[in-house]
Amino acid sequence: MSDERTKAIIGDVVEALRGVLRKHEVTFAEYRAGFMHMAKTQEAGELPMLIDVFLNSTVVEIENATRTGSKAAIQGPYFVPDAPFVEGQLAIRDQDMDLPKMLMRGRVTDQSGAPVAGAVIDLWHSTPEGTYSGIPRHGDLDKKYYRGKIKTDADGKYECISILPVPYQIPNKGPTGMLLETYMGWHSWRPAHIHYWIHADGKRDLISQAYFEGGDYVDDDCCEGVGNEFIVPEAYENGMRLMEVDFVLDEASSPKPARVAEPAE
């Protein structure tokens, strides 16, 4: 049994790629070099990352057209589903204890402004060397570090301390870096960022990111992932960089992108 949506999308992907081959009069050697590069990227475990660099922001753009609360941001390749619940602070490696800290806090509400209590927020960010915990090729750092789940209180508020993230270079020693830097002359940096994934009963899930106003690469993200929301102005509290981010959740029943919401006739 064929699936109509898959059939339609893959059919169009193939047509679009054929258009590129014709436009550039791609040779057999180039065509082979292209797919061998994809194979190498997969072998290096970088295929999800490479695809996210180029295309995740477009999927987010489609989704955001139907959101009236906070806009979503790209998820990126390094979410780990079963991160531990934490209380007020993400686990910090011993070697990082003296680094500058940040205080992430804010409030989760619905569109009427009512607090969303008991929302689960997954938080994750990279180490200062630009690796993520719990990712096999990132040096086997235990997934308890720099990621965790927290819950909003009765007033919808959340609070969590961690070290201050720094600008992040996506792994650039492998085939993805080769493609971006050597072949395309781009750079492979993202601004310092925090990832959020918020789940709450009856609400539409929200995947988001926050950035640091004035930080390097905020205006020049290699993943084109920085929207206007959640570029947080510089402020400090108790010596920690304050990342105050309030989220407004859409209802789970809110309209989804039309083609997903309405089954094809």
CB of 81 vs ligand MBD, minimal distance in Å: 16
Does position 77 interact with Fe ion (CB under 5 A)? The reply is no
Q: Are 208 and 186 in contact (CB under 8 A)?
A: no
Q: Are 92 and 165 in contact (CB under 8 A)?
A: no
Question: What does the CA dihedral 233, 235, 239, 244 come to, rounded to 10 degrees?
Answer: -70
Per-residue x/- track, 146-175, ligand MBD (CB under 6 A): ----------------------x-x-----
- Between strands 193-199 and 120-124, the pairing is antiparallel
Does position 179 interact with ligand MBD (CB under 6 A)? The reply is no
Q: How many residues bind Fe ion (CB under 5 A)?
A: 1
Instruction: Name beta bridge partners: 206.
Output: 198
Among 74, 102, 135, 192, binds ligand MBD (CB under 6 A): 74
CB of 145 vs Fe ion, minimal distance in Å: 14
The Cα 166–Cα 100 span in angstroms is 10
Does position 49 interact with ligand MBD (CB under 6 A)? The reply is yes
Does position 76 interact with Fe ion (CB under 5 A)? The reply is yes
Residue 191's binding partner, choosing from Fe ion, ligand MBD, none, with beta-carbon cut-off 5 to 8 A by kind? Answer: none
DSSP string of 184-196, one letter each residue? T----EE-SEEEE
Among 69, 72, 76, 166, binds ligand MBD (CB under 6 A): 76
Stretch that binds Fe ion, among 11-19, 72-80, 93-101, 250-258 (CB under 5 A): 72-80
Q: Is 198 left (phi over 0), alpha (psi -120 to 50) or beta?
A: beta
* Continuous segment of H or E residues that includes residue 33: helix 28-43
Q: Which residues bind ligand MBD (CB under 6 A)?
A: 49, 52-53, 74, 76-78, 168, 170, 190, 223, 225
